[in-house]
Amino acid sequence: MEMNRRQMLALAVAAAALSACGDTRQQKQAAAPVKSGAQVIDPNRPSSDAWPFEEAEQLNNSLTWPKTNVADPASKVVITVALTTDAVTEVRNAQFDFFFKKRHPNIEIKRESAPFDQFLTKYMAQAAGGTLPDVLYNHYSWTQNLIANKVLQSLDDYIAKTPEFDMDDIPQPGLDYFKRDGALYGLPTDMAPKLLFYNKDLFDKAGLKYPDESWTFDQVFETARKMTSGTGVDKVYGFTPMPKPAPDLSPVYLMPFGGRFLDETESKVLITEPNASQVMGRWLDLLVKDKAVPSLAEMQALEKVDPFRAGHAAMTINGAWIMLELSKLKDLKWGVTEVPKGPEGRTTPAVGSALVMASSSQNKDAAWIYMHEYLSASGYKFRRIAAPARQSAWEDNAKALGIPADSADLVKKVMADYASGDGVLRLPANKKVVDTALPIWERAQLGKINLADALKEIADKVTPVLSENKIA
């Protein structure tokens, strides 16, 4: 793949703007055991305490692996796969690769892995040089820039050659991040909405009914005030965390009231408009006047411990992916329901990441064979993803991971009914937008600037940044 000067400069700009969203994968599949984090992975029998080889082998053999009309290579080829991971999931990925190679002996896999926060910088640099892994991880907020710079391969022809791929099993909202001009460039590795979680013990102690699908944000504000109590280490917050400028600020907190952070084209700041500013003001009052959400100082004192997981917050809005961790907390009795409604209805983001194929790949057919199995229903079930994009994998995975069945059913309902990508920032400037707005909002939380001045300053300083979105 050859890139012109404009494209290389564009990638360099995006890498600088999004440099905190990267990953450098150094894990490589080899004939001898190799290290992944603190573990050693034997490529001939990958195993760990969390993922015993025998269990993986039994599960692999119980699954029906899908077929594609794309032919296996006639001779040996090597594809490079770069994914964000950790020491635990890297073992599962190594197990997937092990059994994949038994099904496809002519496809060798060279794996790269590293922390998420280094990934983008590394692979943007590779893209500018014209080389990328054949298959790589992609955050939803990166994809449009890479598509615009022609470093990704459209997947539509490959999907057409794979009748069993079943695109209907993947909710449409999770695909929109990875589309341009009708073509699809990425397929989700995970996808989930945000939901309202609550602490049953705290509600029982307060003698209040649990939140349900009928709840409005007015009830959240009122209940958060009622359930705030104590001081110091005994403090219980009504809600956590404090809303802040973030890629999904609009669909979670503003759109239910008819407001937005940015407009739909991400070219204009709207947070100073009444429907947005009034909502931000209500949350600021809940923090400053009612002390019902953790302050910046309190969060710093907690050393990044989530008050909800620690049993010190009555409610939180978070992604469905936290259900796996919550299910492991035996002392926390939690429940979950739909996000609350506002005057303009109920909205929640459907967000996730994807696998993409590099347009520079010399082994695209082999790369697709890998992608389609990894992202098949069987692939999701084998990897035990806590928030699978494929809805058919939710039931099996929830059962295997100890996630309550009714919670899994709720996720599927929300994904089918109203979860959306609308309002989620995804264009190249999105990280710089957040980084510009956040310190100003923090000054408002500290009482160093009033609400109106804070939102005006956000608008004034974010507006010039939005010109970087024109690259896409």
- The tens digit of pLDDT for each residue in 430-447 reads 889 999 999 999 999 999
Q: What is the mean pLDDT of residues 133-152?
A: 91
Task: Note whether 143 and 188 are within 8 A (CB).
Answer: no
Q: What is the mean pLDDT of residues 16-28?
A: 36
Opening angle at CA 325, ends 321 and 326, nearest 5? 100
Q: Is the pLDDT of residue 36 over 50?
A: no
Q: Is the pLDDT of residue 34 over 60?
A: no
Please name the residues in contact with 98: beta carbons below 8 A apart, sequence gap of 6 or more.
43, 44, 45, 46
Q: What residues form DSSP beta bridges with 315?
A: 198, 239
Opening angle at CA 452, ends 448 and 457, nearest 5? 75
In angstroms, the CA 33 to CA 41 distance is 5
In angstroms, the CA 244 to CA 280 distance is 9
Q: Which residue has the higher pLDDT, 80 or 87?
A: 80
Q: Is the pLDDT of residue 237 over 70?
A: yes
- Consecutive H or E run containing 380: helix 377-383
Residue 32, SS3 per DSSP: coil
Task: Note whether 430 and 140 are within 8 A (CB).
Answer: no
Distances in Å between the alpha carbon of 339 and those of 80, 287, 305, 310, 368?
Answer: 40, 20, 23, 21, 37
Instruction: Express each pLDDT in 178-233 by its tens digit.
Output: 999 999 999 999 999 999 999 999 999 999 999 999 999 999 999 999 999 999 88
In angstroms, the CA 13 to CA 200 distance is 47
Strands 34-36 and 39-41, how do they pair?
A: antiparallel
Residue 101, SS3 per DSSP: helix
Q: Is the pLDDT of residue 107 over 60?
A: yes
In angstroms, the CA 132 to CA 11 distance is 13
Percent of the chain with pLDDT over 90: 77
Q: What are the φ/ψ torsions at residue 315 (nearest 5 degrees)?
A: -145, 155
Distances in Å between the alpha carbon of 326 and those of 76, 306, 370?
Answer: 44, 11, 32
Q: 228, 159, 118, 61: which is closest to 369 by C-alpha? A: 159
Cα 220 from chain centre: 25
Poorest-pLDDT segment among 68-77, 113-122, 220-229:
113-122
DSSP state of 69: S
Q: How do the residues of the chain divide into helix, strand and coil, expressed in percent and rounded to 5?
A: 45, 15, 40
End-to-end CA distance of the chain: 19
Instruction: Express each pLDDT in 126-138 by its tens digit.
Output: 888 888 999 999 9
**Which pLDDT score, from 0 to 100, does residue 10 have?**
45
Entry pTM? 0.87
In angstroms, the CA 181 to CA 146 distance is 14
In angstroms, the CA 167 to CA 55 distance is 29
Q: 237, 263, 387, 259: which is closest to 323 by C-alpha? A: 387
DSSP 131-154: ---SEEEEETTTHHHHHHTT-B--
In angstroms, the CA 222 to CA 233 distance is 23
Percent of the chain with pLDDT over 70: 91
Q: What is the mean pLDDT of residues 262-273?
A: 98
**Which pLDDT score, from 0 to 100, does residue 126 have?**
86
Domains and CATH numbers, the chain: 5-191+352-417 (3.40.190.10), 193-349+426-471 (3.40.190.10)
In angstroms, the CA 421 to CA 347 distance is 10
Q: What are the φ/ψ torsions at residue 288 (nearest 5 degrees)?
A: -75, -45
